[in-house]
Structure 1
């Protein structure tokens, strides 16, 4: 079992804003990460969340303010209305699943490249060429984009079921092996503190 189970969606702006902080925290504590991409819209429907188009205007307005505020605070480029959003999350999620199974590359870097591609680089992360480029840049075989599609689909669905069973209701969501839960990129410092205390 991994020290940190990381539930995320490859289109989540909040997962994008996490940058590489999870990976740096894990390295600091010698912790392992299991990457678990899932279908965020399906997660919302199963846990009482509200899809973006159905939210009250005041919530949408605050979301826009907060995303821009957090991006500025973190000094990260950010486009509130990217050219290719929303798009199909499944192909990039399948690529992450295949890469995790294959090993040998920078999995955190792959996840971040998909998120950055959407929210900062105006790329369509459902496009096969984009997926292949991201795989190659992270040190994986680009052919992983074509292999393991059945396994990817099965794991993607299983990740959603597991998330619901374990109390996940949004992304990014971090669960530690001792049962502690942290929701949101703005809780990474709390995750870091917990790992420090657990290892003391």
Structure 2
């Protein structure tokens, strides 16, 4: 965990522990700030446009929180992840039935995990997108039900976590593994470089 007495390099507009872990992994000191946005696709909005808009809006909301709280002004990182199968957006499941329905759609087929990351500092905002193809093996109803009982699917887009127990469903991935987890390292590092924010190479 980042020591809160250390001065953060950025603010993270996300409550996701997985995103925090990935930032820690690459040596970025950060502090979480609140960023509440409405997560509803607009009419005829494509999945890629939707996830990029949400990442930008979360970064903007986080930056507004920083200014309203009179915290030291630093760049804010926002991110959003969605699962897309046959152009249908799957977000976090509402209950066991919803999760089971989503996992049945994913079973034995290919889907895309889209994660957008956005960084904002004053008037400057930049957004980058990661798209990863994921192939699931066929799933039985009893293992879908057992997976829900573990509690892992509750807060995960598409109802599964590749970094956890849900890894047993995955047959193949093409693209960014960390993008599926929730924070694509390649795109995140590109933003850090663009905004001149240090990570482990500059802090070692």
| TM-score higher than 0.5 | no
Q: Answer with 1 or 2: which has the greater Rg.
A: 2
TM class by shorter chain equals under 0.3
Whose strand fraction is larger, Structure 1's or Structure 2's?
2
TM-score (norm 1): 0.27
Whose helix fraction is larger, Structure 1's or Structure 2's?
1
TM-score (norm 2): 0.26
